[in-house]
């Protein structure tokens, strides 16, 4: 499952016309609020409902925190071995088969990448990946079927015995899977599928791009003039071989400041086993932070909203307001029964208390 980390890009909310998401409060069940408070630059969550795991990284002091859900409450846990020497290039995920949690992390010492899985109460490491690999994303089908994308042109597969580098049509930045025959990848605006022997690129429907937004007053050394919009895909999630979601935005970037951008439309696509179809959403949030899919439903996290696709319709639900502000979503993880874990923070995108909800 793809985990989309918070981006430095600031997106406005001028969107293409399309069916608006129906407003609705949703069913928000708060399960946790607490520390850390600091420069928490990464939050990830995964789980199965009765068991779940959440990690956060404080970039200011380069330390990790972990919590576990026992079916009733979140408990702070000791920092596990995979995180004791890990930098921010880390992915927390779970196996498609069995739901076992995995952590794929790049070590500060030696810069090697290792994949770890939880066996009972102990974390077991696989042999390190080749030097210089990196971690952009990872997906675990089973203990004998693990994919790790380096984000630097490297893509490797674990077959239960050894790591093997596998060529792909494009650089891979995102991975997802619903089973051994339903593994998907994405990178450079290209979607790819693994057929058991090789990766093959798939064409998404073409989108008519709008004109660049009007110039605005230059600030902070930026031009205030924007380039022509382009489609930037950032989210990927698979519920089955016939239920795959790709999500992103149509983005126009400042001519001088690459990190300053304006969103001029959403770009969300669904694979039904035969073809890709564009799905109009009208995102309310400022940027797409996470995507998840399960049981015929899909969830998109965008800023302070979660958009849910159910029964052929979208609805947008704002996170419950807190006394000190509206929370900002960092990550999602599907649960049984059409629910989803929502990992968020309050007071700002990166600093403030962590909050964890169950949403349905």
User: What is the enclosing helix (H) or strand (E) of 131?
Assistant: none
Task: Please give the chain's pLDDT, 360 residues, in tens.
Answer: 434 333 322 333 222 223 334 434 569 999 999 875 555 668 899 987 689 999 988 877 788 999 999 999 999 999 999 999 999 899 999 999 888 999 999 999 888 999 999 999 999 999 999 988 999 999 999 999 999 999 888 999 999 999 999 999 999 999 999 999 899 999 988 999 998 889 999 999 998 888 998 998 888 899 999 999 998 898 999 999 999 999 988 889 999 998 888 888 889 999 999 999 999 887 765 567 789 999 999 999 988 899 999 999 999 999 998 888 888 898 999 988 888 999 998 865 545 688 999 998
- The Cα 45–Cα 66 span in angstroms is 10
For 276-297, give the DSSP string. Answer: EEE------SSSEEEEEEETTE
Closest CA to 282 of 268, 299, 261: 268
- The Cα 201–Cα 301 span in angstroms is 26
3 state DSSP class of 196: coil
Pairing of strands 74-77, 40-47: unpaired
Q: Token digits for 252?
A: 């126009």
User: What is the enclosing helix (H) or strand (E) of 350?
Assistant: none
Do residues 230 and 264 lie in contact, with contact meaning Cβ atoms separated by under 8 Å? no
- What's the distance, Cα to Cα, between the start and end of the chain in Å? 19
Going from the N-terminus, what domains does the chain have, and what CATH number goes with each? 22-359 (2.130.10.10)
Do residues 113 and 138 lie in contact, with contact meaning Cβ atoms separated by under 8 Å? no
| Burial category of 255 from C-beta neighbours within 10 Å (exposed 0-12, middle 13-18, buried 19 and up) | middle
């Amino acid at each position: 499952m793809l985990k989309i980390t918070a981006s430095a890009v600031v997106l406005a909310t001028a969107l293409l016309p399309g069916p608006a998401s129906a407003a609705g409060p949703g069913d928000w069940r708060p399960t946790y609020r607490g520390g850390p408070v600091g420069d928490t630059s990464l939050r990830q969550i995964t789980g199965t409902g009765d068991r779940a795991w959440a990690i956060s990284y404080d970039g200011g002091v380069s330390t990790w925190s972990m919590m576990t859900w026992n079916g009733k409450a979140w408990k702070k846990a000791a920092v596990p071995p995979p995180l004791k020497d890990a930098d921010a290039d880390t992915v927390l995920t779970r196996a498609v088969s069995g739901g076992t949690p995995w952590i794929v992390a790049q070590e500060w010492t030696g810069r090697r990448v290792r994949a770890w899985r939880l066996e009972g109460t102990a974390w077991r490491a696989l042999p390190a990946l080749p030097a210089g690999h990196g971690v952009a994303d990872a997906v675990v089908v089973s203990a004998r079927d693990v994919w790790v994308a380096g984000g630097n042109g490297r893509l490797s597969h674990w077959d239960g015995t050894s790591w093997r580098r596998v060529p792909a049509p494009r650089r891979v930045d995102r991975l997802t899977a619903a089973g051994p025959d339903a593994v998907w990848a994405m990178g450079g605006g290209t979607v790819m599928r693994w057929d058991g022997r090789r990766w093959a690129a798939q064409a998404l429907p073409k989108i008519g791009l709008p004109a660049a937004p009007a110039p605005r007053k230059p600030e902070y050394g930026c031009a205030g003039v924007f380039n022509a919009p382009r489609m930037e895909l950032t989210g990927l999630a698979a519920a089955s071989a016939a239920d795959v979601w790709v999500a992103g935005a149509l983005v126009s970037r400042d001519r001088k400041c690459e990190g300053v951008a304006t969103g001029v439309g959403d770009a969300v696509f669904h694979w039904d086993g035969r073809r890709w179809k564009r799905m109009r959403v009208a995102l309310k949030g400022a940027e797409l932070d996470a995507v998840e899919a399960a049981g015929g439903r899909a969830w998109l996290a965008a800023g302070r909203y979660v958009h849910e696709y159910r029964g052929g319709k979208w609805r947008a639900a704002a996170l419950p307001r807190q006394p000190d502000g509206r929370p900002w979503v960092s990550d999602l993880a599907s649960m049984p029964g059409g629910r989803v874990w929502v990992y968020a923070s309050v007071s700002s995108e990166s600093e403030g208390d962590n909050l964890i909800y169950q949403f349905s």
